[in-house]
A = this chain, B = another copy of it.
């Protein structure tokens, strides 16, 4: 028998093996806890030791599930984004009225934002923490999400024969919605549906009151 020769282990092949495997479930748990910590301390401010403590796993053990802290953030952001876009597509399916479609968009965004407040804060707050490859993919998803909203806005504009900057309207809407994590307090503020309605009102009435070719004077 030959003396024991060290065979190099094939490390870290998995990353996403089966669907709902033990590995996947544990990884999902870690992502959930990590999201909370990233939300509280920010990406750079959260140490791997913080993250391991929060999910009750040893520091070294974490690296069995992902190869770096950056990759962990990437996994969180990707999962968050994928989910929100997926839900949006489902909800838009049966709705054809342009105004309703925008209202569906707003409701979906706010609903997801408020039930996954931590994840969304991480997503909107740490959007430039990822370098090169990772960052580019997330940025693409973000652009796609913007594109969807922009298209809804254009359809609305055309249907009503209105004249306003879709870009401004979409970006203002995102601003209103994404800022919510800084102030929302369930004991003071209305529920999601009412909030979505109010923001929809502000936006839609705001852009509606300037019909094509006319300019309201402000004196």
Contacts and interface: CB of A to CB of B under 8 A. Distances in A.
A49 interface: no
Interface of A: 41-45, 99, 103, 125, 127, 129, 165, 167-169, 171-172, 174-180, 182-183, 188-189, 195, 197-199, 201-210, 216, 218
A171 B179 contact: yes
A179 B174 contact: yes
Nearest to A207: B202
Contacts of A174: 179
Which applies to chain A's interface (DSSP): helix, strand, loop or mixed?
helix
Nearest to A183: B171
B210 A206 contact: no
A209 B205 contact: yes
A114 to B, nearest CB: 14
Contact of A165 (B179, B183, B198): B198
Nearest to A210: B201
Nearest to A200: B218
Contact of A201 (B167, B188, B189, B206): B206
Contacts of A176: 172, 175-176, 179
Contact of A198 (B168, B179, B188, B209): B168
Nearest to A126: B42
Contacts of A216: 201, 205
Contact of A203 (B42, B129, B165, B206): B206
Nearest to A172: B176
B172 A199 contact: yes
Closest 6 CB pairs of A and B: A175-B179, A206-B206, A202-B206, A44-B45, A44-B44, A205-B209
Contact of A205 (B45, B178, B205): B205
A201 to B, nearest CB: 6
